[in-house]
Structure 1
Amino acid sequence: MKYLYFPVAIILLISVNLGCGPAKVTPKLTSADITKVINQMMVGMLHDVTNPPLAARFFSYTCISGYEVLSKSDSKLQGLESVLNNYPKIRNPSVTGFDPRLSAVFAMIATASKLQPSGPAMKVFEQKLIDSCLNAGFSRGKIDSSLKYGQQISAQIMAYAKSDGYNKISNYKRYTLTGTPGSWDPTPPAYIAAVEPYFSTVRPLTLKASGQFVPAPPVPFSTDKGSAFYKYLLQCHSFDADSLSTDQRTIAAFWDCNPFAVQDNGHMQIGLKKISPGAHWMGITGIACKKAGASFERSMEVNTMVAISLMDGFIACWNEKYKTNRIRPETAIHQYMDPRWHSFLQTPPFPEYLSGHSFISSAAAGILTSFFGDNFTYTDDVEVAFGIPPRKFSSFNKAAEEAGYSRLLGGIHFQDGITNGKKQGELVGAWVLGKFNHNSKPPGAQ
């Protein structure tokens, strides 16, 4: 399996309709231009080693910024005041002569550049966008007005983002291990400390609270060979890395999405550049919008709803993870069954229950299915740059099911963490759809 160790360079080519003939046609941005911003954010996340919950937070506020611009110019888009918790009244900037689509992209870039540690790279991306716009036929005045409008909207969204409580997490006491039987412990090879143990304290975007949906409790920990937990141990043990078939390895690797993965190289450990689960589903969203021929406005709506479901999904999932504090299969198998066993995937640095990938995959799949239908065939090539071959899926739900199954094959989750994670994700996805008053539309609906 091949991995890239350095950020991937993305070439910005703005998608426009220039028309033909002597009559001058105003250029129009497409869904591809939204995807380019998302992709550039992914590059930054690889560089910054952004953890999965935080990546979802970045995507959500970035998309909200673009959506807010469009909603002020398009009455068909629902205002966010009725959707998001504690959402302020966003002042309409006194700027004229702007292009709403271009301004939406500028707003996304401005927000991402402030949220991400590698934000300065987004400013380089912005300049390339401006140059592309000039070459495509936008006037300097329209570009400047669009930039100004987008930045003023972004500033207001950033104020909303700063009020969600994430900046308080650094003041909380350091997470300490309980050391009780069946509780989570850091895993090899890097033994990374617990990631985002207080993420559930962040204000959800749409949920009433992080614990709004209460999942079934995990199977109780037990070393009794007749217990349900021990049966789960046996099941995971059967998926030893050396025993997987080629197809099973392909599935597990395809959905790995572990930004914390490292590789031993002599006396050194090298970090492998991988996107997060949420980034993978944002990539799938771009693929779906392009294939369906969705308009720029519809694509912004879809991207925003998916991003919101990711953030709320991680908040809810992390609430359960650190409440149950459940041991990972790798640790349990080594301690109570087989110290030589090893999983195909590296175990991420946080408790097992619920499966985060199962959770957010079904949440995102629910949003996408609502827009594009349950039989939407697409090819997922999001991770081709990482040496991961494309895979074809006949529906988003089937992709989400495979994502969950990959965690069992990879040896990093128990079956009930996967099954119940999927159920909770479906609840969050449906909740977000309900907040947007979104009714299912036929595949490719505009």
Structure 2
Amino acid sequence: MRGRACFLLLGMSILMFACGQKQEELPEFSNEDIQRLMAKVTEVMVHDVTNPPLAARFFAYINLSGYEVMVQHDATLSSMAGVLNEFPEITKPEVEGHSPSLAAILAMMETAQKIQPSGSMIQAYEQQFLDSCKQLGYAEEVITQSKNYAQEISKQVLAYVKSDHYREISNYPKYTPLEGKGYWYPTPPAYFAAVEPHFNTVRPLTMDSASQFKPAPPVAFSEDKNSPYFQMLMEVYEEGKSLPQEHRRIASFWDCNPFAMENNGHLMVGLKKISPGAHWMGITSIACEKAQKSFPESVKLHTVVAVGLMDAFISCWDEKYRSNRIRPETAIRKYIDPTWEPLLQTPPFPEYTSGHSTISGASAYILTYYFGDGFSYTDDVEVSYGIPARDFTSFMSAAKEAAVSRLYGGIHYRDANENGTAQGLKVGEWVIRTIEKEDIQSLAKAE
């Protein structure tokens, strides 16, 4: 059991409250409360089949809401005003008698309810959470004032959300796959339409533009069996034909495909899976718990990782719809073996660069900056989804495994994984330089 959850009614705490504990001595919240909330937010995303870039956008704004509450009560933290692109000065609410940490959690819940399609699912969770807080000794007035404070902060963050241009995407013409050899085309079994083809028009949080970290061009498509491209294609094909058990486990561990479908007779059933960003948010919680980070520190770390996730997805999606490269599954079936199937289902968007590789590189860089290069941990983020835990010696080793898992799974070529990781590392470094205002030399240890 990690940390101290608000839902756990500790016998000692109850005894202290029964003896007349003062309100100001009530227990503060911990990293586990953030972890539980992120898990609930992820549950809603799974329910809504939220696509990976959009999930990262949700995580960023939800965590920013809690962070800006803590900024106003912790002198060690600095507002993101003037740091993130166009982020405004957040006015401190004139609300007395609130709990800062409770207000931070409630601000995250408030924003989650407003921006997630099924945000109403958070309302029931919030009521359960507040009921447990009452049992822990929080007075009704403190809870009410904390919620009032949270709503005022969330309202200001939501105004920032509305200005990021995501809503304008719905006005763009429907995306049509490009004609010609070597271009992406929808893949089986569901043949989903392209996901978020205009995500590069969303305002980045730290980057100058979506194309700031444009990667090296992909290996050029070719039907020539002696070409570099065809050699990469054969690598995916041969790997998939005789997949070692350990490679199979690695591919499944990092799958994180919310679009996975399964044929069941005449029906097609969706498989419940989290997004790549949700996986790295879970890793962040694990690291905060192991390092015994305080509640304010944990709020900050989750926020910075979420900022990195959003910018990494914007950067990656900018390249995906520029290079628009064909997926291995499509090319192998056309040029090598019409019956071939990848271990993992191919996600519905162009191949280059690998999204999971990009966001893993960014997240690993950020976490390495804060926790160090040799930080080992056990990743049990998806145990509840039937995925066994794995041990890692560092965040960078995890990012490298996440990248190569896409080759093992048959959904990416090698250059998309390697160049995607490099792209993500640059995004992660930029996020740290922007938020921490560190010079580049101090970050060399994370390379």
**TM-score range relative to shorter protein:** over 0.9
What SS does the corresponding residue of 2:263 show, helix, strand or coil? Answer: strand
CA deviation map 1:303-325 (0-9, x unaligned): 00000000000001000000000
Counterpart of 2:245 in structure 1 is 246
Instruction: Give, in angstroms, the shift of residue 20 of structure 1.
Output: 6.8
1:397 aligns with 2:391: no
State whether residues 190 and 262 of structure 1, in contact with CA within 8 Å, keep that contact through their aligned partners in structure 2.
yes
C-alpha separation in 1, matches of 2:294 and 2:335: 55
Residue of structure 2 equivalent to 1:197? 197
Residue type matched to 1:18 in 2? S
**For the residues of structure 1 that align with 2:102 and 2:13, how far apart are their CA atoms?**
15
Paired with 2:194 and 2:112, the residues of 1 have a C-alpha distance of: 25
**Partner of 2:227 in structure 1?**
227
1:227-282 superposed Cα distances (whole Å, 9 cap, x missing partner): 11011011111122x52121111000000000000001111100000000000000
Whole-Å Cα distance in 2 between the matches of residues 301 and 89 of structure 1?
A: 17
Q: Look up the match of 2:415.
A: 416
Corresponding residue for residue 56 of structure 2: 56
Find the counterpart in structure 1 of residue 7 from structure 2: 13
Q: Distance in 2 between matches of 1:245 and 1:170?
A: 43
User: How many residue pairs were aligned?
Assistant: 430
Displacement of 1:112 in angstroms is 0.4
Report the alpha carbon displacement of residue 82 of structure 1 after superposing the two structures with TM. Answer: 2.6
Contact 1:15/1:32, CA 8 A, preserved across alignment: no
Q: Which residue of 2 aligns with 1:386?
A: 385
Q: Secondary structure at the match of 1:270?
A: strand
1:135, distance to aligned residue in structure 2 (A) = 0.6
Q: Is the Cα–Cα contact under 8 Å of residues 236 and 414 in structure 1 kept in the other structure?
A: yes
Distance in 2 of aligned mates of 1:313 and 1:262: 26
Cα distance in 2 for partners of 1:15, 1:245 equals: 46
Structure 2 distance, partners of 1:388, 1:111, is 30
Alignment of 1:242-391 (within 5 A): 242-391=241-390
2 CA distance for matches of 1:92 and 1:12? 26
Query: TM-score by structure 2 length?
Result: 0.94
Q: Distance in 1 between matches of 2:264 and 2:353?
A: 32
Q: CA deviation at 1:173?
A: 0.2
Residue number in structure 2 paired with 1:211: 211
Identity %: 53
Q: Match of 2:13, as an amino acid?
A: L
CA contact (8 A) 2:360 2:399 kept: yes
SS of aligned partner of 1:239: helix
CA distance in 2, matches of 1:321, 1:35: 31
1:70-100 deviation digits (Å, cap 9, x = unpaired): 0111121122113210111211111011111
Distance 1:85 1:279, change over 3 A: same
Partner secondary structure for residue 178 of structure 2: coil
Residue 19 (structure 1) shift: 8.8
Q: Residue 181 of structure 1 aligns with which residue?
A: 181
What secondary structure is seen at the aligned counterpart in 1 of 2:13?
coil
> 1:379 aligns to what SS in structure 2?
strand
Q: Write the distance in 2 (CA, Å) between the matches of 1:120 and 1:338.
A: 47
Q: Residue 3 of structure 1 corresponds to which residue in structure 2?
A: none
Residue matched to 1:167: 167
Q: Give unpaired runs (5+ residues) of structure 2.
A: none
How far apart are the structure 1 equivalents of 2:6 and 2:263?
35
Could you say which residue in structure 2 is the equivalent of 1:429?
428
| In structure 2, distance between residues paired with 1:34 and 1:276 | 18
Aligned residues: CA RMSD: 1.6
SS of match in other structure, 1:269? strand
> Equivalents in 2 of 1:154, 1:162: separation in Å?
12
Secondary structure, counterpart of 2:436 in structure 1:
coil
